[in-house]
Chain A
Amino acid sequence: MNQFPRIQTVGLSGILISFSDTMSEPANRAALSFRAAIDAADWPEVSETSTSLVSTFLQVDLVTQPLDAMLTRLNDLLETQDWYTAPLPAGRTLWHIPTVYGTDLAPQLEEAAELAGLDPDAAIAQLSQARVRVLTIGFAPGQPYMGELPENWDIPRQQALTKSVPAGALIVAIRQLIIFTNASPTGWRHIGQTAFKTFRPLSDRPFSLSPGDELCFPSVSRSTLEKIMATDDSGAGGAETEVLS
């Protein structure tokens, strides 16, 4: 079936290039790489670009920009390489974000570990050594959907919503992690707590993360996290970064 990549218009607001209809690492890679190529091409018709899990969106004013010409150029660019195996864009950041797993700060670790077929210590070991990618950002400003975790973390969302988990919560479902931007109800399970702020509207860098960034969540003690909270008001939550080439 040669259904993808698929190009569609989105209202009068733009063009969507989908690389799959299910989440997979190659399709997410394709979306990120293709977006980087569009940004590099710097076409004047494209006012803004974004990615969802497996697609790239180009904001284009279809009222004034001829669609056929855009489609031709998009198809030409799509044919220049296999986007599913393309290298990820350069200049991404690798983040190490100190995390308290479990305790009353993150009360669903044990429940989630059981669903993942692990005892709590083994779950913490696996999660704190995992390296995940920002697959997309959405739902709230700067809020990352990260993955993919090992297959044993393909755990369902809860039937009932948790009334509220705090900002900085690390939550898990369907092989993905999220750090919550704001306190919010959720069907995902709250397994860790960070002091990391994903959205800092008044700072020089209002959005901490970009799609394609990679993250690790090393396990720290509660007292370490409390010390970070007491001494660092930048919102970085004690995170360390390195640039990925």
Chain B
Amino acid sequence: MTTTLTIVQAGPALTIQDLGRAGWLAQGLTKGGAADPVAIHEGAALLGQSPDLAAIEMTGTGGTFTADADIRIALTGASMAAKIDGDPIAWNAGHLLPAGAKLTIGGATSGTYGYLHIGGGIASDPVLGARATHLSAGLGAALKSGDSFPVGPDKGRETGMKLPRDTRFDGGVVRVVASMQTDRFAPEERERFIATQFARDPRANRMGVRMDHDGAGFHAEGGLTILSEVIVPGDIQITGDGAPFVLMGESQTTGGYPRIGTVIPRDLPRVAQAPAGTKITFEFVTLEQAITLETQHRRDVKALPGQLTALVRDPATIRNLMEYQLVGGAVSAKENPFEKDA
């Protein structure tokens, strides 16, 4: 029998997301997918499953969830206060959600996008090859209270593992490579751009994040005469009022505003996750430096399973003591520990 996950109460901005829907750029559809793909990989590592499985992305706040059978869950991305039947559980960790128990996820305490991953993934019907909701294209919609989804078959069993948190929720330096219109900005404009401290504007969504700053806007030479041109995720477009807008995965496929540079892929989650008001500065790197940084990042993402550690549990406060595997690293005698699911 298929397990069903039900959203008892939906926060205002929950969507199903995976790593996106490639292949339709020429038809006007951007890839979309999770605003923080690193969080998708973390969830996959915590549950020992493929990063291609779909999860629930929660913007700002979560909701209440329940399942009609025991399921494994993992929580990644922006930290949110989470409880199972009222008992607090750790973020950036995997847990067992017993059948009928209520998982409540509150508001974000750091970061913007939190993720609820399910062992086996959310098995909604794919559209055009992916399950990712693409709000601006009208593919899927924000989840509502009462929605329910089938859960895919879960081949794993492990829960109670955690991953260390990184700093991508705290703003800071975001690295940028020159892009096709960078040279339309005078050298002084580019200098001023990297010397400016920006704050993430509250106006931000899955299409783009506006950057706020004191002082004059930025302007390209002949800015209004640029023909509409291809957009890639991370492009920083300068809109009519001179404010930079970092374009995210769900942007339009083309745009007519000049782009001063492109945020490198590994730093894009830093832009997405920065809560409103968080300080951000931009730094240009060469293409060669960007390639080195990105190669290292991909290696780190691949190595995430090696970063897993067991959650430290206090037997005095633990609920459902019997559900936990108390001897760290113990494995079933029947299971070959070297044959983990990819």
Contacts and interface: CB of A to CB of B under 8 A. Distances in A.
Interface residues of A, number: 45
Contacts, number: 124
B27 A10 contact: no
A59 interface: yes
B228 A206 contact: no
A201 B137 CA distance: 10
Nearest to B222: A21
B189 interface: no
A50 B253 contact: yes
Given A8-B180, A62-B291, A182-B138, A137 B28 contact: yes
Nearest to B297: A63
Nearest to B177: A11
A51 interface: yes
Contacts of B227: 21-23, 52-54
Interface in B290-333: 290-291, 294-295, 298
Given A10-B230, A137-B26, A207-B27, A63 B253 contact: no
Interface of A: 8-14, 16, 18, 21-23, 35, 47-55, 57, 59, 62-64, 67, 136-143, 181-182, 199, 201-202, 206-207, 210-211
Given A8-B180, A11-B177, A138-B254, 15 more contacts: A10-B179, A23-B227, A47-B23, A48-B23, A50-B25, A54-B227, A62-B287, A139-B252, A141-B28, A141-B137, A141-B138, A182-B138, A201-B128, A207-B24, A207-B27
Interface of B: 22-29, 127-128, 136-139, 177, 179-180, 227-230, 232-235, 252-254, 262-265, 287, 290-291, 294-295, 298
* 10 closest A-B pairs by CB: A11-B262, A50-B26, A13-B232, A138-B254, A207-B27, A50-B25, A141-B29, A137-B28, A57-B230, A8-B180
